[in-house]
Amino acid sequence: MSEFFFEVRTFAAPMKSNARQVGAVTESFRVGIDSQPALRHQSHMKLISGTAVAEKVIEECRREIAELATAGKKPGLAVVLVGDDPASRAYVRSKDKKCRDLGLHSVKLELPASTTQEELLAHVQSLNNDPTIHGILVQSPPPPHIDEAAIVRAIDPAKDVDGFHPINVAKLALEDSSGFVPCTPLGCQRLLIDAGIETKGANVVVLGRSMIVGKPMALLLMAKGIGGDATVTVAHSRTKDLPSITRQADIIIAAIGRPEFLKAEHVREGAVVIDVGINRVEAPDTAKGYKLVGDVAFDEVAPKCSAITPVPGGVGPMTIAMLMANTIKACKQS
């Protein structure tokens, strides 16, 4: 998928953040620096490569799958798609491919758009009862006649690798580690940890309050322990004077679904910015006629940051990697 493509851009900025920086410059950015002699001395800026960290997570998954194999276990993931939305179809294909690459048992159920609520519930029930399946995911959004919340509630919480079932939402709030955390915020937290960005005591602003990204992200960051212990502010479309709030942040997580919304005026010097957004915008000069951009105006924000994720090649690849990790966890707990 194109979101896995990683583009190196060259920029540099002094580090003034309270967020502690301990990791090295990512390998991809080092390539950028080495090819630009004038930038070699300005190595504080870190471009956080989600592609590289996702590969690390996948390697960890490989090791765990091998261990499970010695115990006669093989994790299985079922992905259910209703309808023929091209973007959803592409996501489902890439999840199925990643499973197969890893040697996981993968079931891809492609159902017609005319599938009824009852038929879909029956499929979910059958997957709940299938001992070879440890993770179940129903690709969002389903057609409008489907009650998505009811489908999520029908998934066995022990197989809910998306982490959307109320039981898993509650477990996240309760800091019960047996639950499943939604893959995208889990991936963002892993990026911060891997990049050596200290969240303990940091002021973090999460931009967006969706159940898929914003809310679970805030819960993860305020939880006790590594990758948590932050002081979290959640902003949304009703927030007043957003720039004055985001400028207080050591770390900003942008998840609002508006192309290049976060501008330089929102960010203070030395902040860390994680860009969750994936927005398709017209680009007549490109072969496809469109390009993917994040929720952050990268070119103006990046020079102010001590670390930032690109789009593509940032949070995107982490989501699927964490889905694999959640499926393995579900298998281990079964």
**Contact residues for 285 (Cβ-Cβ < 8 A; gap 6+):** none
Of 89 and 105, nearer to ligand NAP (C-beta) is: 89
Determine which residue in the list 212, 273, 308, 321 makes contact with ligand NAP, applying CB under 6 A: 212
Determine if 135 is a binding residue for ligand NAP (CB under 6 A). no
Binding segment for ligand NAP (CB under 6 A), chosen from 35-43, 60-68, 76-84, 270-278, is: 270-278
- The footprint of ligand NAP on residues 226-255 (CB under 6 A) is 235-239, 242, 255
Determine if 140 is a binding residue for ligand NAP (CB under 6 A). no
Pairing of strands 251-254, 290-293: unpaired
* 42 belongs to the catalytic site: no
Determine if 276 is a binding residue for ligand NAP (CB under 6 A). yes
* 95 belongs to the catalytic site: yes
Determine if 258 is a binding residue for ligand NAP (CB under 6 A). yes
CA distance 211 to 202: 23
Strand partners, 293: 279
CA distance 304 to 162: 34
Q: Which residues of 224-240 are buried (b: 16+ CB within 10 A; e: fewer)?
A: eeebbebbbbbbeeeee
Determine which residue in the list 256, 296, 307, 330 makes contact with ligand NAP, applying CB under 6 A: 256
Determine if 210 is a binding residue for ligand NAP (CB under 6 A). yes
Tokens of 272: 């860390």
Determine which residue in the list 18, 42, 128, 279 makes contact with ligand NAP, applying CB under 6 A: 279
Determine if 263 is a binding residue for ligand NAP (CB under 6 A). no
- For the chain, the distance separating the N- and C-terminal CA atoms, rounded to the nearest angstrom, is 31
Of 148 and 156, nearer to ligand NAP (C-beta) is: 148
Least distance from ligand NAP to the Cβ atom of residue 68, Å: 26
From 162, 194, 250, 275, active-site residue: 162
Assess contact for 319 and 182: CB atoms under 8 A: no
- The footprint of ligand NAP on residues 313-332 (CB under 6 A) is 315-316, 319
Determine if 291 is a binding residue for ligand NAP (CB under 6 A). no
Nearest to 273 by CA among 14, 17, 41: 17
Strands in 260-304 per DSSP E: 272-275, 279-282, 290-293
CA distance 143 to 151: 12
Q: For 82, phi and psi rounded to 5 degrees? A: -115, 125
From 95, 159, 215, 329, active-site residue: 95
Determine which residue in the list 208, 227, 228, 313 makes contact with ligand NAP, applying CB under 6 A: 208
From 46, 96, 139, 160, active-site residue: 139
* 248 belongs to the catalytic site: no
Assess contact for 120 and 151: CB atoms under 8 A: yes
Assess contact for 313 and 158: CB atoms under 8 A: no
Determine if 49 is a binding residue for ligand NAP (CB under 6 A). no
Interface residues with ligand NAP (CB under 6 A) are 184, 207-210, 212-214, 235-239, 242, 255-258, 276-279, 295, 315-316, 319
Active site residues: 95, 139, 162
